[in-house]
Amino acid sequence: MTHPKTRNTLYVEQAELISQDAYENEQYHMILKAPETSAHARPGHFVHMQCDESIFMRRPMSIMRSPAKNKTIEILYKVHGEGTDALSSKKIGDKIDLIGPIGRPFKMKDYKKRPLLIGGGVGIPPMIFLAEHIKNTTKNLNPLVLMGSEIPFPFKNQPSKIIINEMPTDVTASMTLLEDWKIASRLTSLKNYAGCFGGYVTELADIWLEKLDPDQREEIEIFSCGPTQMLKAVSKLAKKYNLSCQVSLEEYMACAVGGCAGCTVLIKTENGNKMKRVCVDGPVFEAETVVQFQN
């Protein structure tokens, strides 16, 4: 699987808050006017946001959408500390200092016929961004987006009208936005939400993959973002079916621009295992190179 070799230029912007919608369990969807970041953002990129002038440390946030014609970016986040709590209190018209777009994105072209996108929790936004990119740039593909959450999903969902023969018939819940784009999706949770698969997202992916014939599996490649344990399970799934797989890692980070090396992970390279920075060497890596996923 190819990977972009160059890093985008970073931009510092005073982004204007256009809208902020609240969902259950202190989840928020915000739209920011950020022309430079919007123009250059790619699926897998993130921004480093100043949540409030009184809080020194910025917070990394994955980009969920980046409609360049609107000069906006969209962020989906959950309150889990002082910074994100301050962010949730921002009002329409407020300015938010951000740096972006940061990192190496997912592959941007030459997709196989059946991209499988797997997102968990706060790892869902990059999958939506990637799904939209695939829809807008490549014809005759059949992507499938599987998303898991243990709290209510922070977006509209509905029973899907897109039939997936290899799916359990009672698993019908889909993301409305993806349904509107005619992209197949299914939702999973352990919380018995209506229409959702009652298990982990990787379990549903395994059921789907197992029911495909070998020729169909040859058309699949995996893209994923989510908690570390989920990504490890995705990596094992890719290995089980001999599929190429890119993962976007989640790590705590301070500077987010490669200076502090506080977000390093061990990566297998041609010259042996090396510590790589998730912020600028990633966050996207080939799953087979992430050492902690190989155990």
Per domain, the residue ranges of the chain are 11-102, 114-249, 251-295
Task: Give me the pLDDT at residue 92, please.
Answer: 98
Q: For the domain bounded by 114-249, which CATH number is listed?
A: 3.40.50.80
Evaluate whether 47 touches 99 at the Cβ level (below 8 Å): yes
Angle 33-134-35 from CA coordinates, rounded to 5°? 15
Give SS3 for 293: helix
Q: How far is it, in rounded angstroms, from Cα 229 to Cα 156?
A: 26
Q: How far is it, in rounded angstroms, from Cα 68 to Cα 123?
A: 22
Evaluate whether 217 touches 177 at the Cβ level (below 8 Å): no
Pairing of strands 264-269, 245-248: unpaired
Residue 31 identity: I
Task: Give me the pLDDT at residue 225, please.
Answer: 97
The residue whose two tokens read 């200092």 is 97
Per-residue pLDDT of the chain (295 residues; tens, 9 = 90+): 444 444 457 899 999 999 999 999 999 999 999 999 999 999 999 999 999 999 989 999 999 999 989 999 999 999 999 999 999 999 999 999 999 999 999 999 999 999 999 999 989 999 999 999 999 999 889 899 999 999 999 999 999 999 999 999 999 999 999 999 999 999 999 999 999 999 999 999 999 999 999 999 999 999 999 999 999 999 999 999 999 999 999 877 778 778 887 889 999 999 999 999 999 899 999 999 999 998 7
Class assignment of domain 11-102?
mainly beta
Q: For the domain bounded by 251-295, which CATH number is listed?
A: 2.10.240
Query: Could you count the other beta carbons within 10 Å of the beta carbon of residue 252?
Result: 9
Identical topology for domains 11-102 and 251-295: no
Look at the chain and count its residues. Answer: 295
Q: Which residue, 286, 279, 27, is CA-closest to 152?
A: 27
* Sequential DSSP letters for 151-172: S--SS-EEE-SS--TTS-TT--
